[in-house]
Homo-oligomer: A and B are copies of this chain.
Amino acid sequence: MRIGELAEASGTTAKTLRFYEEQGLLPAAERTPAGYRDYTPDAVGRIDFIHRGQAAGLTLAQVRQILDIRDDGQAPCGHVQDLLDSRLADLDEQIAQLVALRETITQLRDQAATVEPETCSPDQVCRYL
């Protein structure tokens, strides 16, 4: 199948697929005599896998690591587990920070809502921040 068909079948664009190839996420496809990329249908599965990795918050570089291990004939399970663990730890920290930030902003905004603007002194930029 040609790149446009593959893009359609996997819910992405030809441009993105070329980009994935360039980044090492997709192996270089066979070419027709005219130089067109010619994919086998199982490429769809690989692209779906990339999408699932992204949906799990992995970067393309991390997805690529997993694919490299699999392409090497090994089972990437251990590595996947490590990635998910560290993603989970990052996520917990990220969530904690956002929740703290939310707390801070709520307070600032409540102040901003109750104080009269007229009483702002011009030598600060804004008393609420």
Contacts and interface: CB of A to CB of B under 8 A. Distances in A.
A68 B99 CA distance: 29
Nearest to A108: B84
B117 A77 contact: yes
Interface string A22-62: 00000000000000000000000110010011011100000
Taking residues whose C-beta sits less than 8 angstroms from the other chain, chain A's interface range is 35 or more
Contacts of A118: 75
Interface in A77-119: 77-78, 80-81, 84-85, 87-88, 91-92, 94-95, 98-99, 101-102, 104-106, 108-109, 112-113, 115, 117-118
A1 interface: no
